[in-house]
Structure 1
Amino acid sequence: MSILKIISKDFEISDNLSENQLREAMVDAFAYLIDNDFPKLIQILYKADVDQYELKKLLETVEGLSSAEVIADAYIARQMAKVETWKKYSAKKD
């Protein structure tokens, strides 16, 4: 399971993005959602299991980044953690 495969469940993204391109695409997507579809933003973050309290704290304390960048970073970090967990437990089955 790859992070691109997980993220493609919520967003239409290319399956050959670099890490920087993925972050850029997520920042753009979250900026759009903040401005145009806040309920969908909340739904995506809830479905991805992004900790709302941690995210709120980050949004209040992180300086030098837009809200979209902070949200994208938290979302990507959560999805990467899922990939690592999946790898860890799927390796034990082999």
Structure 2
Amino acid sequence: MDDLKALSRIISNDFELEEELSSAQLREKMIYAFSWLLDNDISKMMNILYRTDVDEERLKSLLISRSQLPSAEVIADEYIRRQMQKVETRKKYSS
């Protein structure tokens, strides 16, 4: 299974996704989702980030250092990065 499919499968535990998204489409969907969560349900967003094991201190640092970007974009990128780490780890230990 390719990495993008594995990544989409992991992310679909937290968000509803259509099948066969490109990496750019996946990123856009995550930015939109985190933007919505920031505006409407921050506790749900925090719960997702906690369960995903996104490093809180790293995220705070990224939000400060990339303050010119929308917060939802920074959060989405970090969420995707963390989920991709899980894909890589599973691939490494499944062979």
TM-score above 0.5, yes or no:
yes
Q: Which residue of 1 aligns with 2:40?
A: 36
Question: Corresponding residue for 1:24?
Answer: 28
* 1:14 aligned residue: 18
Q: Percent identity?
A: 57
In 1, distance between residues paired with 2:89 and 2:13? 18
Contact 1:33-1:40 at 8 Å conserved across structures: yes
- Alpha-carbon deviations, 1:2-32, whole Å to 9, x = none? 0000000000011210000000000000000
- Measured after TM superposition, the shift of residue 65 of structure 1 is 1.4
Deviations 1:33-81 (A, max 9, x none): 0000000000000000000000000001114310000000000000000
SS of the counterpart of 1:83? helix
Which residue in the other structure is 2:84 paired with?
80
TM-score between the two structures when normalised by the length of structure 2:
0.93
- Output the CA distance in 2 between the equivalents of 1:38 and 1:64: 21
What's the secondary structure of 2:35's corresponding residue? Answer: helix
When the two structures are superposed, what TM-score results if normalisation uses the length of structure 1? 0.94
Aligned CA-pair RMSD? 1.0
The aligned counterpart of 1:61 is: 65
How many pairs were matched up? 91
CA distance in 2: counterparts of 1:65 and 1:73, whole angstroms:
11
- CA distance in structure 1 between the aligned counterparts of 2:73 and 2:48, rounded to whole angstroms: 15
